[in-house]
Structures are given as C-alpha cells and as structure tokens.
Amino acid sequence: MAEVLVTLGIIGVVSAMTVPTLMQNYQRQSYITQLHKVYNEVQQGALRYMTDRNAVNLMEAGLTNSAAMQEFLRDNFKIVSMGTTDSDMPWNNVSYKNLNGGSWTSGTWGCGPCAVLASGAWVCADNPKCYTYSYGGHTSWYGMFFVDINGKKGPNIIGRDTFLMELWSDGVLDLPKVSPACRTLGVCDGDSIEAIRNTGTACEGSTTYTHQRCFANILNNNWEMNY
C-alpha cells in the first residue's frame, strides 16, 4: 500500500510539472496557427490581386491608397467592420504590452484601413506604396501590417497574440529591409535574411509598431514560438 501511495505521489508531482508546460505549448501553437492563417490569406490574396490585373507588383496592380486597400481586405476576408484609419476602430481602446510587461504604443495607420474580421481578429494594413526602401541601387515599397489574432480578447501581448510586419510591393509579408531585391536578387543590407531579421529591438522589449522582432523570430524558427 505504501508503495502504491509513493507511486501515486510521484505521478502527481510529475503531472504538476508537465501539465502547465503542455498547456503553454498548446497555447503557443494555437497562436501560431491563427497567425499563419492570416499570413497565408494575405499573401495568397496579394498574388491573386496581381494575377487578376496582369501586374508584376501590387503598386502596378493599383493597390496604392486606402480605398484600394479596403477593397483588398473585403475581397480576402469576411469583414465585420472597417474604418479608414485606426482611430475608427475599437482596438485603440485596448492596452497592449510587450513580453516584459512594458507598454506598447500603437502609433497611427495613415496609409490604409483597420478592420475587424469575422474570425475575431483585428488587422490594420497600410497600402504597399506607403513607404520606400532603397539599397544597392534598388528601390522597394512597403506598408506596415498589424494583426491581433483574437481581437480584444487577451492577452494582448506583442509576440503572443499580436504581431507587426511589412507588406512588400511583391505581396510578401516579412521584415524591414527584407525587400524584394534582397529576397530575389540577393541585394541585402546584411549578411543574410536571417541576420537582417535578427537586428533591432529584441522581441520582449517591443514598444512601438516599428519593433517587429517577434515576427522575425517566428519566421527564422520555421513558425515555432520558442520564446
């Protein structure tokens, strides 16, 4: 009987140690799955947008202003509500934090709309003509892209359920400086794409929309949230 009790006690201790870890891993995978879904839908939609218009990039296809970006989102997502800027959307009433518990400042989205999706996600999407990046004789264009995969529902933490990235003019979602010229021609401001993604403010210290290392970590680790 004593041996049985000892065995049960050991099982209980092991369970107490492993169950929380399993739950955390499950939650991380859930976040990744939802983020990957939005990521794929945006890129597939961008490719379709260019193909339908026989264009080589999104700017040539006409995705150059907020009105066109609204149409793009409506064509690719089930939209509950949409505003022309972030000030029209409810997500401004949510306080976001970084992984260190510090405050995160949302900034403003002046080049595109914000929308509440039927899935519950919130997105803000600049049109890809909003910003210009030049390096090595090549100029590329991009817009900021924000996604909160579960909207107002918590934890509302950058790197867990909320992410920042860039929508480049070729329809690819990636990081600053990982431009079309870098990806296709190798003209990169860094030793490698992975190295470029790993520059800048650390994921856990993100305080504004230009800090995108959390998404970089996920891309560099083959869609694993190992932080």
Quick check: 189 pLDDT over 50?
Answer: yes
Question: Could you read off the pLDDT of 127-157 as tens digits, one per residue?
Answer: 999 999 999 999 999 999 999 999 989 999 9
Does residue 113 sit within a domain?
A: yes
Quick check: 165 pLDDT over 90?
Answer: yes
Quick check: 12 pLDDT over 90?
Answer: no
Does residue 79 sit within a domain?
A: yes
Question: Could you read off the pLDDT of 54-100 as tens digits, one per residue?
Answer: 999 999 999 999 999 999 999 999 999 998 766 666 566 788 999 99
Does residue 146 sit within a domain?
A: yes
Q: Looking at residue 4, what is its pLDDT? A: 47
Q: Looking at residue 17, what is its pLDDT? A: 56
Q: Which residue has the higher pLDDT, 130 or 20?
A: 130
Question: Could you read off the pLDDT of 205-214 as tens digits, one per residue?
Answer: 999 989 999 9
pTM, entire model: 0.87
168, 169, 159, 170: which is closest to 211 by C-alpha?
A: 159
Does residue 15 sit within a domain?
A: no
Q: How many domains does the chain have?
A: 1
Sequence-separated (6 or more) residues with CB below 8 Å from residue 30? none
> How crowded is residue 35: how many other Cβ atoms within 10 Å of its Cβ?
22
Helix (H) or strand (E) holding 39: helix 2-52
What is the mean predicted confidence (pLDDT) over 177-192? 97
Q: Looking at residue 2, what is its pLDDT? A: 58
Does residue 9 sit within a domain?
A: no
Does residue 12 sit within a domain?
A: no
Does residue 68 sit within a domain?
A: yes
210, 186, 188, 190: which is closest to 198 by C-alpha?
A: 190
Does residue 99 sit within a domain?
A: yes
Q: Which residue has the higher pLDDT, 31 or 2?
A: 31
Say which residue the tokens 């339908």 belong to.
52
Question: Could you read off the pLDDT of 88-107 as tens digits, one per residue?
Answer: 665 667 889 999 999 988 76
Q: Which residues of 199-214 are buried (b: 16+ CB within 10 A; e: fewer)?
A: ebeebbebbebebbbb
**Boundaries of domain holding 78:** 23-220
> How crowded is residue 195: how many other Cβ atoms within 10 Å of its Cβ?
11
Q: Looking at residue 13, what is its pLDDT? A: 47
